């Protein structure tokens, strides 16, 4: 018999419903079936599983391991299964444990022997690793689009109120005046880094483990590079032991999601504070708030509060997976089944948080009168007075001390620096002249800082232009990526 014939004969044996049944004399306990089943959540991978199987079958036929007739039957059967899943008519069987065996068993019932040949030269170990990588790659691309929309909302805020001055804080204490636009552009930069991290993570996700089999590779003459190209991977994994037991790419992905959630939570915290009566800086849109069941006056910032709360949930999934992996020997262990629920929930949670915050941010309205009132208090221009004295030749530490005494005097008298006239200011240092008044206003303070990245109006306009150009470039890259994906 030819080598190909032997391969086909070997690939034709076994019971697809219980592929491990030859070793065991007793059936699995029902409780154990229930305990170990994962199909109720890993069925989310079904379309990735079908896509991987189609590429694998195509490679097997190309290499002469199965016949073209087998390939045609497998392809037709998998397409029927895909349509059934989309229509909601596919029957999922918990006793088959997972998405892979459910689909393969259904295929064998549809097409017979060709379906039982599909698993030649692969294992569920490299199969699930491939499916999850396809899933994570797709979710990275989807999250990138959602974060693009969030950045558009942030940029909308920056462009809508470019001249508005607001108090800047350190230690949640009044620090220096900044522009409203400058504040929102800070978050734009955070999510820019988040997108860059995700796309960098994608490089390590986008390698193909299929062909690693259970742990040692396979003796069949497979073409791993062909499968990788068919599935849109950039490369193949380099070590079969590592490939089937590696979940670094999920951990890295969850770390990226955790950082994104941290940024969302910081923004949420500020919105909760700013919308409170004590601050009164912003008005949140009614559609993103709720009332109280007992207090009719309440307008609760539920959306940012929930985002802030859900951040810990995503952190928990990252820690859970790190803990899962820390004690596992090579190669595959059944513990790895526990990676998916953490992964899926982290993706779902982060996605909805990014999406809902994009909608909320676009509709936030500043309370200009209140902001103007607050920026006139709290000695926000004290640093400007110190810088002014430095410009007159006073050493900075001396200027710092002088202004500190001036602030202490104002606090004692219950006035602001801007309430002092020229003669009063000159009492603190003889270098003070009439031009000092221009630097003591919040507007003068903010707009004086036009160094790159500063809060001055010219610097902020440059930031806006750069942000617009970056978003435009990213939109082009996303469109190009979609076209390439359609071609594949």
Please report which confidence band the pLDDT of residue 427 belongs to, taking 50, 70 and 90 as the band edges: confident
- Reported as a single tens digit per residue, the pLDDT across 67-106 is 999 999 999 999 999 999 999 999 999 999 999 999 999 9
Q: Answer whether 151's CB lies under 8 Å from 469's CB.
A: no
Q: What is the pLDDT of residues 350-399, one digit of tens each?
A: 999 999 999 999 999 999 999 999 988 878 888 888 988 999 899 999 99
Contact 225, 234 (CB under 8 A): no
Segment 214-226 mean pLDDT: 98
Q: Is the pLDDT of residue 1 over 50?
A: no
Detail the DSSP E strand segments found in 210-330: 235-236, 282-283
Q: Percentage of the chain surpassing pLDDT 70?
A: 94
Pair 407, 418: CB distance under 8 Å = no
- Whether pLDDT at 6 is above 70: no
**C-alpha to C-alpha distance for 106 and 274, rounded to whole angstroms:** 56
CA-nearest of 282, 467, 486 to 367 is 282
Q: Which of 308, 323, 333, 345 is nearest to 251 (CA)?
A: 323
Q: Which domains does the chain show, CATH number per domain?
A: 3-16+30-120 (1.10.275.10), 125-162+175-217+232-367 (1.20.200.10), 382-440 (1.10.40.30)
Q: Is 35 exposed, middle or buried (0-12, 13-18, 19+ CB in 10 A)?
A: exposed
Q: What angle do CA 48, 53, 57 make, to 5 degrees?
A: 155
Q: Give me Rg for the CA atoms of the chain.
A: 31
Give the three-state DSSP class for 450. coil
Active site amino acids: 171, 292
pLDDT-derived band at 20 (thresholds 50, 70, 90) equals: low
Segment 6-32 shows an average pLDDT of 61
d(CA 171, CA 155): 26
pLDDT at residue number 293: 73
CA 260-266-269 angle, to 5 degrees, is 140
Identify which of 174-178, 290-294, 300-304, 408-412 has the greatest average pLDDT.
Answer: 300-304
Averaged over 54-73, what is the pLDDT?
Answer: 98
> pLDDT tens digit string along 147-158?
999 999 999 999
Select from 128, 210, 174, 166 the least CA-distant residue to 364. 166
Q: Which two tokens stand for residue 348?
A: 């779902």
Structure tokens at 212: 């690693």
> Above pLDDT 90, what percent of the chain?
75
pLDDT, one tens digit per residue, over 280-336 is: 999 999 999 988 777 767 789 999 999 999 999 999 999 999 999 999 999 999 999
Query: Residue 69 carries which DSSP code?
Result: H
Q: Is the confidence at residue 5, as pLDDT, over 50? A: no
Is the pLDDT reported for residue 345 higher than 50? yes
State the pLDDT confidence band at 417, using cuts at 50, 70 and 90. Answer: confident
pLDDT class for 21, splitting at 50, 70, 90? low
Confidence label for 344 from pLDDT (cuts 50, 70 and 90): very high
Q: What local confidence, expressed as pLDDT, does residue 18 receive?
A: 61
């Amino acid at each position: 018999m030819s080598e190909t014939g032997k391969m086909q004969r070997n690939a034709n044996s076994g019971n697809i419903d219980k592929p491990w049944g030859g070793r065991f004399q007793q059936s699995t306990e029902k409780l154990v079936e229930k305990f170990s089943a994962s199909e109720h959540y890993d069925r989310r991978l079904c379309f990735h599983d079908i896509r991987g199987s189609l590429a694998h079958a195509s490679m097997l036929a190309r290499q002469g391991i199965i016949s073209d007739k087998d390939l045609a039957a497998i392809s037709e059967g998998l397409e029927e299964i895909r349509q059934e899943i989309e229509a909601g008519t596919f029957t999922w069987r918990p006793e088959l444990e997972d998405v892979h065996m459910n689909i393969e068993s259904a295929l064998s019932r549809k097409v017979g022997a060709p379906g039982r040949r599909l698993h030649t030269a692969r294992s569920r170990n490299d199969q699930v690793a491939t499916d999850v990588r396809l899933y994570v790659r797709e979710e990275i691309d989807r999250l990138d689009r959602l974060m693009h929309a969030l950045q558009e909302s942030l940029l909308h805020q920056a462009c809508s109120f470019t001249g508005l001055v607001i108090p800047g804080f350190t230690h949640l204490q009044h620090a220096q005046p900044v522009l409203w636009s400058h504040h929102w552009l800070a978050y734009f930069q955070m999510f820019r880094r988040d997108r860059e991290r995700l796309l960098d993570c994608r490089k390590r996700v986008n390698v193909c483990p299929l062909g690693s089999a259970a742990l040692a590779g396979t003796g069949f003459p497979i073409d791993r590079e062909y499968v990788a190209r068919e599935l849109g991977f950039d490369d193949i994994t380099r070590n079969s032991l590592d490939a089937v037991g590696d979940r670094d790419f999920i951990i890295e992905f969850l770390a990226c999601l955790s950082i994104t959630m941290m940024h969302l939570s910081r923004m949420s915290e500020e919105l909760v504070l700013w919308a409170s009566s004590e601050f009164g800086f912003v008005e949140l849109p009614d559609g993103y708030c709720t009332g109280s069941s007992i207090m009719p006056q309440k307008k609760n910032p539920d959306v940012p509060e929930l985002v802030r709360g859900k951040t810990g949930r995503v952190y928990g999934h990252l820690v859970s997976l790190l803990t899962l992996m820390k004690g596992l020997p090579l190669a595959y262990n059944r513990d790895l089944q526990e990676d998916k629920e953490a992964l899926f929930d982290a993706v779902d949670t982060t996605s909805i948080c990014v999406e809902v915050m994009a909608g909320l941010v676009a509709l936030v309205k500043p309370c200009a009168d209140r902001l103007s009132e607050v920026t006139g208090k709290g000695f926000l221009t004290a640093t400007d007075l110190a810088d002014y004295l430095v410009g007159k030749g006073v050493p900075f530490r001396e200027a710092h001390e002088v202004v500190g005494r001036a602030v202490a005097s104002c606090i004692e008298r219950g006035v602001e620096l801007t309430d002092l006239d020229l003669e009063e200011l000159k009492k603190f240092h003889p270098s003070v002249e009439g031009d000092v008044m221009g630097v003591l206003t919040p507007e003068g303070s903010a707009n004086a800082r036009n160094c790159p990245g500063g809060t001055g109006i010219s610097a902020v306009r440059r930031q806006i232009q750069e942000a617009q150009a970056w978003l435009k470039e990213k939109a082009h890259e996303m469109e190009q990526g979609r076209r390439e994906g359609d071609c594949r």
